Amino acid sequence: MNRTNNCEIKYKMSQMKCLGCFFVCLFISILQSCKHDNLTMPVPNENIRPAADFIHNNYEMRLFDAALQKTGMTAELNGEGPFTVLVPNDLAFNEIGIFRPTDFDKMNKDSLRRIIAYHILPRRLYLRDIPSNSVDFRYATREGSELYASLGSLMPGATAPTNALFFSGAKAIRKDVVLSNGVLHVLNKLMKPQFEKNIQEWLSDKKEYMVFVAGLKKFGLWDQLAKKGPFTVFAPTNEALEKRGVTMSFLEGANPEQYIGEVLFGAYIMYDKHFFISDSQVFNIINSNGSYKYHLKDKVHYMEYFADEAYPTWKLSYNMRLRSNDMFNSIILADITYSVAARMDYLCSNGVVHDLDKGLVSPDQAIKKEENEK
């Protein structure tokens, strides 16, 4: 009996020794695997590339890469820098009809170079460098002119930042990509600077706005668009005005004394404002209200304007609602929404122009009334 007990005791002691050896070995192996790499100095990442090389090796940037090669700017962007490169992705170029590198052959090389240089800043500009909740903060570009940065950082009462960043109306959909000679942000559309052209000159060059231009001239609203401004103009196409009964033949026979020009054509002009469509989103983050309401120049008709990324496409669109006056029960004369991002945000020297494919006012809605009819 005692012999049996002794055997059991020896067997258990042997098991305990084995387990003890196992845990000692396990503990040693864990200690060996715990290398304190975080205590060493970080080694610079030699895989970080200069701007042009990084762009060349990213598939979503192949068209911007082609534009750099076309304009001879590749070597410059691989230089010392520092640079901030604002790269429209390929979808952004597709929206303006550019699908392959050879499409750039149709463009004037010098004009293309100016546009590409406008997308480059001669400095590093990270998200953290842009003032929080700022609208239209200016930065010098490699082209020589200035672009406008807007950052909607934090909504009232929010604890986490939104950090919606825009450059001259284009949204940064990827931010702070580190380069060896700067930083890169990816944009969802091409910025459209018109450089020295004022709004009057820009509209004059576009046949699709011929009726709008003729109407502005007819009703004495044209000359102001060559002045300092700023103005924000929602330019209706010829087809948009025709659907409202405004044509060249109508203008030829119309008597300006019978119509309120500030309504019939002035409804498309926002005075003393320099608005990119995306500014409304930034104001919504800053103030929880991105709308802008104002009286037209006749001091009676009332415009309600706002912009947002709307369901179901979640594409940025703007809305204009024109009322007969500012009373809650006033007549809605027009309620239009526009969402073609590629035809928004034409930056001129004295303001911004946005395309509009619907008219706001019919001639019969802008007829002057006698005092006893008001």
Same domain, 209 and 352: yes
User: Which pLDDT value is given to residue 281?
Assistant: 94
* Rounded-to-integer distance, Cα 78 and Cα 128, Å: 24
Q: What are phi and psi of 203, to 5 degrees?
A: -65, -35
pLDDT digits (tens, 9 = 90+) for 245-288: 999 999 999 999 999 999 999 999 999 999 999 999 999 999 99
Q: Do 205 and 231 belong together in one domain?
A: yes
Q: Quick one: 163 and 122 in the same domain?
A: yes
Helix (H, G, I), strand (E, B) or coil at 292: strand
Task: Tell me the β-bridge partners of 152.
Answer: 164
pLDDT of residue 358: 98
Number of CB atoms found within 10 A of residue 216's CB: 24
- Residue 47 has what pLDDT? 57
| Domain match, 125 and 203 both | no
Same domain, 239 and 124: no
pLDDT confidence of 29, banded at 50, 70, 90? very low
- Let me know whether 185 and 226 are in one domain: no
**What distance in Å separates the CA atoms of residue 267 and residue 359, rounded to the nearest whole number?**
10
Same domain for 353 and 223: yes
Phi, psi of 111 (to 5 degrees): -65, -40
Residue 262, pLDDT score:
98
pLDDT recorded at residue 371: 58
Which two structure tokens, joined as six digits, stand for 344? 């928004």
Which parts of the chain are beta strand (E)? Answer: 83-88, 120-121, 134-140, 146-152, 164-167, 170-179, 182-187, 192-193, 231-236, 269-271, 292-295, 302-310, 315-323, 332-338, 346-348, 351-356
Does 34 fall in a domain? Answer: no
Predicted pLDDT at 48: 86
- Which tens digits make up the pLDDT trace of 130-187? 999 999 999 999 999 999 999 999 899 888 999 999 999 999 999 999 999 999 999 9
CATH code at 219? 2.30.180.10
pLDDT given at position 310: 74
Partners of 292 in the β-ladder: 305
50 touches 77 (CB < 8 A)? yes
Within-domain flag for 318:
yes
pLDDT tens string 214-232 = 999 999 999 999 999 999 9
Q: Parallel, antiparallel, or unpaired for β 146-152 and 134-140?
A: antiparallel
Contact call for residues 113 and 134 (beta carbons, < 8 A) = no
Per residue in 185-201, pLDDT tens?
999 999 999 999 999 99
Closest CA to 141 of 117, 171, 112: 117
143-160: burial string, b at 16+ Cβ within 10 Å, e else: bebbbbbbbbbbbeeeee
Regarding whether 332 and 186 lie in a shared domain, the answer is: no
Token pair for 140: 């010098």
pLDDT tens, residue by residue, 96-109: 999 999 999 999 99
Q: Are 168 and 236 part of one and the same domain?
A: no
The mean pLDDT value of the chain amounts to 89
User: Where residue 4 falls among pLDDT bands split at 50, 70, 90?
Assistant: very low
In a domain, 343, yes or no: yes
Identify the band that residue 30 occupies on the pLDDT scale cut at 50, 70 and 90: very low
Query: What pLDDT digit, counting tens, does each position of 287-346 carry?
Result: 999 999 999 999 999 999 999 987 777 889 999 999 999 999 999 999 999 999 999 999
- Provide the domain count of the chain: 2
Percentage above 70 pLDDT, the chain: 86
- pTM as predicted: 0.85
CA distance 2 to 24: 33
Q: Are residues 149 and 278 in the same domain?
A: no
pLDDT (mean) for 28-54: 56
Backbone region of residue 245 per phi and psi (left: phi > 0; alpha: psi in -120 to 50; beta: other values): left
Structural domain including 320 reads 194-373
